[in-house]
Chain A
C-alpha cells in the first residue's frame, strides 16, 4: 500500500527537519518550533475528532508531557530526546484512562468530561507544590537544555513523524472503522468491529502525540507552571487548526496550523501585545469556520480545483 515515493518524501522531510534549522534566522527558528508543537496537538486532536471524539482536554495531555519532561530532567537529568518516551507513555496511559472511564459516552458528554479532567489536572498540579512547584512554577535544569537549533530540529522531526503517522492511519483499513464510528458506534458494532478497542487505540495514540508537544515546550521555554502547562489556549488552538485547515483530513491540521500561526503573527504586528486580540481572532475563526467553511481550507481548495478540472471528482468530506 505504501509506495516507495511515500518513504522518500518522509525521508526528505526528516532530512530537511534536521538541516534547515541550521540556516534559519532565530525568529523563523522560533516560529518553526512553535509551529511544530501546534502541528502535534492539531494532528492529535484531529485524530480523535475523526473517530467522533470531541476533545476539550488537550491541554491535559500537553501539561502531563511538559511536567514529565521537566520533573525527570530535574530529578535524574534525563536528556531531552529520551524524555519523550516516558512522556508519551504517560500521555497514552492518560488517553486509555480517558477512553476507559468515559466508556460509551458520546459527543457532548465526552467533550465535557475531557474538559473537566484537564482542569482537574491543573488543580492537582497547583495543589502539590512539593512536586510541581505549585503556582510559583518550576525551572527545567538549565545545564542539560539543548540549544535553539537542536530544539528546532527535534521539534520539526517529531512533527514530520506525527504527520506521517496520521497519513499511514488514513491509508489503513482502520480509517474506515474510525470514520464509521464518527457516524454511529452502534452500527459499527453490528458490522463486527469493536468500537471500544478502536476508541482506546485512538485516545492512546492521540494522547501520546499531544504530550510530545508538552515535552517540546517544557524544554524550549525552560519553565512551566500549572496555568501555562494546562492552559485552555492549548486546547483552543488544537481545535482551531484542524477546523480552519480541514477537519478529518491529513493536510488540514498542518495547513490550519500554518494559517493560524501566520494570522496570529499578523495580528500581533498590527495590534502589538494588546491583550485579548489574538483570542478574539480565534473566536471569530471558530464561529465563521463552523458557519461558512465547515470543510476548511482543504475543502475550499478542492472546490476551486474542481472548477478547473471538470470530470475528475475530488472527494470532500463534509463534517
Chain B
C-alpha cells in the first residue's frame, strides 16, 4: 500500500513536470508580448492552433515529422504575428484598454472561424512514432516519450530566449523597452520596432507550441481558447511581465491540475477548472503575481 502511494505521488510529479514544460512554452509568448507592449493578445491561443494545423498538414501532406517542420512553422508564426501587429495592433497602441481587448478578441474570433470554415471542427492529430511510445521509470510509473520530447524542447527554447534577452543587443533593447519605454526611446531604441519584434517572437513561440501540441492533443479550431485561458492563468500566477515568473506559474498550474486529476474523484473534469480558480484567487491575493512588478492599474 505504502509503495503504491509512493509511486502514485511519483507519477503525479513526473506528469506535472512534463506538463509544466509545455505550459511554459504556451504562456511565454503571451508574457513576452505583454511585457513589452502592455497589450494582452487574446488571439494568442489561435496562433497556437494555426501552428498545430501547419504541423499537421506538413505531416499528413508532405510526410514531415512535426519536430522537423517546427522551425519553419515558428518562422511562419513570426511572419504572421508581425503582420497582425503591423495591420491592427500597431494602430491601437495608445488607445484605452477596452479597444485593445475588443480588437485582439476580434482577431482571435476571425482566426478561429476561418479555421472552422476551412477545416471544419473535426479532430486531427499528427502521429509520429514517438507519440505512442512510453517507458517505465519504476514498476508502475510511466513516462510518455511525446511529453518527454516536448519538455526537452520547451527547456531548450526557454534557455535560448533567456540567453537572447540577456546577451544580445536586440534582447537588451527588448528588456529596456519592457522596463521603461520612455527612457528606452531616449536611448535611441526604436520602440515601435521592438514592439513589432516582440509580437513576432511571441507568435513564433505560439506557433512552435502548436507544432509540439500537434502530437499531444487533438487539433481542432477550438483548441485555442482553453490554451489562452490557461496561459492567462499561468502569467497571472507568475507575474505578467516576468519570464521566470511564467516558468514558476506554469509548473504551479501543472502540479495543481495533475494532483487534482489523480487524487480527487472525477478529478479530470475538475482539473479543467483549476486554472480559473487559481487565476481568480491570485488576482485577489496578489494581482502582481509571484514575481511580477505590474501593479493593479495596468
Contacts and interface: CB of A to CB of B under 8 A. Distances in A.
Interface string A277-302: 10110111111011100100000000
Interface string A253-284: 00000000000000000000011110110111
A89 interface: no
A274 B105 CA distance: 22
Contacts of B273: 119-120, 123-124, 127
Contacts of A275: 116-117, 120-121
Contacts of A101: 280, 284
Nearest to B114: A280
A52 to B, nearest CB: 8
Contacts of B108: 283
Nearest to B40: A108
B280 A123 contact: no
B101 A123 contact: no
B99 A319 contact: yes
A254 B95 CA distance: 25
B112 A279 contact: yes
Interface string A95-110: 0000001111111110
A73 interface: no
Contacts of A103: 284, 296
A243 interface: yes
Nearest to A119: B276
A286 B105 contact: yes
Contacts of B229: 115-116, 119
B1 interface: no
Contact of A290 (B102, B112, B275): B102
Interface of A: 49, 54, 56, 101-109, 111-113, 115-117, 119-120, 123-124, 126-127, 232, 236, 239, 243, 247, 274-277, 279-280, 282-287, 289-291, 294, 319
Closest 7 CB pairs between A and B?
A286-B106, A283-B109, A276-B116, A123-B273, A283-B110, A280-B113, A120-B276
Given A54-B97, A283-B109, A286-B102, 14 more contacts: A101-B284, A102-B284, A106-B298, A109-B283, A111-B101, A112-B236, A113-B279, A236-B109, A279-B112, A280-B114, A283-B112, A289-B102, A290-B95, A319-B98
